Structure 1
Amino acid sequence: MIQISIITVGMNHLTYLKNLLFSLYSENNIQTSFEMIYIDNCSTDGSVEFISRNYPNVKIIQNTRPLGFGENNNKGVLASTGQYIAIINPDIIILKNSLDTLLNYIKDNLHIGIVVPKLLNPDFSIQYSVRGFITLKTLFTRIMTKGKDNINNKLISQYLCKNIDHTKIQPIDWAIGAALFMSKKTYAELGGFDVDYFLYMEDEDICLRCWELKKAVIYNPDAIMIHNHIRASSKLGKKTILHLKSMYTFFKKHGFSIKSPKHFYQ
């Protein structure tokens, strides 16, 4: 029986996919049974051909037209057979036992909805992957500081949760969707990702809805992955517009002031 279904969506991410697949299949990093499902979002860089040739065990779903992040992941989960779902971006490198650690933790804590690993930058520094829920003030400040994480700003530091203990297992508001782990049952209860978002905000939305189901979102730094973060929306362009549209959708759906639910977690 397959324990973990790894769902990865890619669009011209061959360079990153090579590292991800090597970490999964060539370094014996996962002890439990798993499958990988790759959803190709109309790549033209040979991603499908490379995976088919070198990793024939990977299930490949090829889109005939580009779909959003949430819809693609939902397709992958529908095609999965595992009891647990790992949403893994193509720019992730899986370190040894990280997925096993997340699996064992969530099995031992059935009240947990989503658990996320510690993410490191390629230079092994801490990546600020844990966030507080967005507010209009935070959004405005984020725009004014051009989305830079290393800015010296109190509000941005709070939003990026820079002062949390990155060695401690703890409840969080949400984490970026590069690596999310949950049971397939929880995914179904959440209805998967909200397809009203084409790109961006799906991760914050699904974590908030998880809290609304009275299931905690947990940061577990005992599981560690490397994330070569692709920040496509930090430069003004089409993806910036998509990000702003997703912000509008999020605020319209959840309101402008969200109280952090993690403080009520026991």
Structure 2
Amino acid sequence: MAKISACIVAYCDYEEVCAAVRSILHYTQTADFVLYVVDNASPDGCGRQLAETDFGDERVKILCLPENLGFGKGHNFVLDKLHSDVHFILNPDILLTQDTLPAMADWLLATPGAAMATPQLRYPDGKLQHLPRRKPTPWLLLARQLAPRFGGVFRKADDHYTMQDEDLTRPHKIEFCTGSFMAVRTEVYKKIGGFDPAYFMYVEDADLTQKVLREGTVWLAPQFGAIHAWHRAPMRDAGKFKMQLVSMGRYFKKWGCGKGKV
């Protein structure tokens, strides 16, 4: 059985983080497992509460940062601590309903050339989330923002971007693996240096996927699943939306605006 590790980067919302941790521990019974919870200097005291919480499981390691490093650098904080075969990058709004981590790790290692994968995620009400995507282009990202309001050609482009014109009921190669739930070969993750620290938040998962694609293939593995609350803050918060635009600019400068291969 594969050695596995996982990391959640927390920022506020203690109860949500605890729910994620408890679901992961409940459905991941293997002893050769470490779960890192990195608190990004939560102003609501989440880190302090986590440090004082007894999860009754020595596999949990709580790490409290003195300042908010952002999503990617928060995950990179544990990079040098990893000695696993497969590492999971998880959002604090993830809930497991089955033994996804061990089974998915074994599948990833058994799939020739596979370096990263994501499961099929669903909303708490069971509705499917369309998170596997093609490589971003400026047009596809614009269409994604405009599709809910205007539909039409924007909706068609967004459906294409989120691969709704493909059969995703079976394992499928993808070009954009969501940072909500990533499984990556630890040796690959360490070789590429984890996330690009230039991103504070947003689009760093697309960037990481492109780096991983230089080392192997990236997959949607829909035979595995989890619940994802998916808090879409950029749609509601002007400051975070601006941050997202800055990250998009950095991504396209680095990787270009061309289409991918899927």
Give the TM-score of the pair, scaled to structure 1: 0.89
What are the residue-to-residue correspondences of 1:1-266 with 2, within 5 Å? Answer: 3-25=3-25, 27-31=26-30, 33-52=32-51, 53-55=53-55, 57=58, 58-145=60-147, 153-213=155-215, 215-260=216-261, 262=262
- Between the aligned partners of 1:147 and 1:161, the Cα distance in structure 2 is 20
CA deviation after TM superposition for structure 1 residue 166, in Å: 3.3
Deviates more, 1:243-252 or 1:100-109: 100-109
Is the contact between residue 135 and residue 257 of structure 1 (CA under 8 Å) also seen in structure 2? Answer: yes
Aligned residues: 259
**SS of corresponding position for 1:220:** strand
Deviations 1:170-218 (A, max 9, x none): 11111210110112101022221111111011111111222233x1001
Is the contact between residue 28 and residue 96 of structure 1 (CA under 8 Å) also seen in structure 2? Answer: yes
Letter in 1 for 2:242: I
Deviations 1:231-264 (A, max 9, x none): 111124211111000000001001111322x4xx
- Between the aligned partners of 1:60 and 1:32, the Cα distance in structure 2 is 18
**SS of corresponding position for 1:116:** strand
C-alpha RMSD of the superposition: 2.4
Residues 107 and 144 of structure 1: is their aligned pair in 2 closer, same or farther, counting only changes over 3 Å? closer
- Between the aligned partners of 1:181 and 1:250, the Cα distance in structure 2 is 22
Is the contact between residue 172 and residue 217 of structure 1 (CA under 8 Å) also seen in structure 2? Answer: yes
Letter in 2 for 1:219: L
- Between the aligned partners of 2:106 and 2:2, the Cα distance in structure 1 is 15
**SS of corresponding position for 2:128:** coil
Unaligned runs of 5+ in 1: none
- Between the aligned partners of 1:189 and 1:24, the Cα distance in structure 2 is 26
- Between the aligned partners of 2:47 and 2:138, the Cα distance in structure 1 is 40
CA deviation after TM superposition for structure 1 residue 137, in Å: 1.4
CA deviation after TM superposition for structure 1 residue 76, in Å: 2.0
Is the contact between residue 2 and residue 106 of structure 2 (CA under 8 Å) also seen in structure 1? Answer: no
- Between the aligned partners of 2:13 and 2:27, the Cα distance in structure 1 is 23
Is the contact between residue 41 and residue 67 of structure 2 (CA under 8 Å) also seen in structure 1? Answer: yes
- Between the aligned partners of 1:148 and 1:17, the Cα distance in structure 2 is 35
Q: Identity, % of aligned pairs?
A: 25
Is the contact between residue 114 and residue 217 of structure 1 (CA under 8 Å) also seen in structure 2? Answer: yes
**SS of corresponding position for 1:174:** coil
Give the TM-score of the pair, scaled to structure 2: 0.90
**SS of corresponding position for 1:153:** helix
**SS of corresponding position for 1:131:** coil
Deviations 1:77-118 (A, max 9, x none): 223332321001100002212112211111212411101111
CA deviation after TM superposition for structure 1 residue 152, in Å: 7.2
Is the contact between residue 157 and residue 163 of structure 1 (CA under 8 Å) also seen in structure 2? Answer: yes
Residues 11 and 236 of structure 1: is their aligned pair in 2 closer, same or farther, counting only changes over 3 Å? closer
Letter in 1 for 2:92: P
Deviations 1:130-161 (A, max 9, x none): 11111121222233346999x97110111111
Unaligned runs of 5+ in 2: none
